[in-house]
Amino acid sequence: MTVRRSVVVGCGGYLPEKILTNDELAQRLDTSDEWIRDRSGITQRHIAAEGELTSDLAFAAAHSALGAAGVSVQDIDMILLATSTPDETFPATATVVQSKLGADNAMSFDIQAVCSGFVYALATADNFIKSGQAETAMVIGAETFSRILDWQDRGTCVLFGDGAGAVVLKAEPGQGTTADRGILSTHLHSDGRLHDLLYVDGGPSSTGEVGFLRMEGKEVFRHAVVKMAEVTVEALEANGLTASDIDWFVPHQANKRIIDGTAKKLGINGDRVVVTIDQHANTSAASIPLALWVATRDDRIKRDNLVLIEALGGGMTWGSGLVRW
């Protein structure tokens, strides 16, 4: 049987130049490097420069993914940008990126699923490709969370950072087995009843202002460990695979303790887990593609490797994807 698969043909990323360390934060907040490291695994985060917008980060990541893919920009027929920090309320920041790239043949829109945004965007692009509505898709996760943080709230502002990552997906024929290269499956979930655990207290239709991120950290932590393990098991079972088949586990980078807890539950050794939270902090929708970028650049993730991704975010939303690289 021949099926259409969405194969990752290139990966890119971008991190703003400015680095903010835990020690620098401790100079202006009642916190410490030790507390932040112990509770989250974070040592530093990148912060977008004044005037540097989400579309700038997204463009830089997309440009580097295009270079890695060796694909002409005119071949891109779809741009999906996962973000919760768009340049403007409308239009979609994806259209700004389209213009910056000169990707004239693409349709472009944003996906809003907070930290699960990249998994949601990957699933959407995969379904467009499988149905024949797209051939070559640019899927980006880009955030400037520094702009929606309450820098007086030590329980949240120490945990996030800015950045962008991107992958280029191309339609290729497969046999319909797990040996195929490309996206093997995606599983998405949400539960709107959990809104109050993680949200931004503003918006165009409510306060007319952008607002700040609010979070019940302990509760989010509890849901994250349970739901991330469930959705990864769901991915493995749907494909008749087990954790021992996974070459690389690339989880959303929210907290090192959540990553360790999920990997342990799954029985995946630490040396098969890609961790960037120490350097990038939580970059929301950008965290998975940034981690993919880091691990492909240093030659950990190679062609034909089986990669498991998963994320949980505000909404709440959560999801997983299995990709044969």
Residues that bind ligand COA (CB under 6 A): 31, 35-36, 39-40, 115, 154-155, 158, 215, 217-218, 220-221, 224, 254-255, 258, 282, 312-313
H/E run at residue 261:
helix 256-266
Which amino acid is residue 38, in one-letter code? D
Contact 160, 280 (CB under 8 A): no
CB of 204 to ligand COA, least distance (A): 23
The residue from 22, 46, 255, 282 that is catalytic is 282
Residue nearest to ligand COA as judged by C-beta position? 217
d(CA 249, CA 267): 11
CB of 260 to ligand COA, least distance (A): 12
Helical ranges in 158-255 per DSSP H: 217-238
* Residue 293 CA neighbour count, 13 Å, CB half: 31
- Residue closer to ligand COA by CB (options 39, 265) is 39
The residue from 11, 252, 255, 280 that is catalytic is 252
Active-site residue 187, yes or no? no
CB of 132 to ligand COA, least distance (A): 34
Active-site residue 252, yes or no? yes
How far, in whole angstroms, is CA 10 from its chain's centroid? Answer: 16
User: Which residues lie across from 111 on neighbouring strands?
Assistant: 82
d(CA 178, CA 323): 9
Helical ranges in the chain per DSSP H: 22-28, 33-40, 54-69, 93-101, 117-130, 154-157, 217-238, 256-266, 277-280, 287-297
- Residue closer to ligand COA by CB (options 61, 213) is 213
- Residue closer to ligand COA by CB (options 40, 98) is 40
CB of 174 to ligand COA, least distance (A): 32
Place of tokens 């040996």: 179
- Residue closer to ligand COA by CB (options 6, 144) is 144
**Could you give the C-alpha distances from 162 to 85, 122, 146, 219, in angstroms and in order?**
10, 20, 6, 24
CB of 199 to ligand COA, least distance (A): 12
- Residue closer to ligand COA by CB (options 128, 318) is 318
Active-site residue 105, yes or no? no
Residue positions annotated with a catalytic role: 115, 252, 282
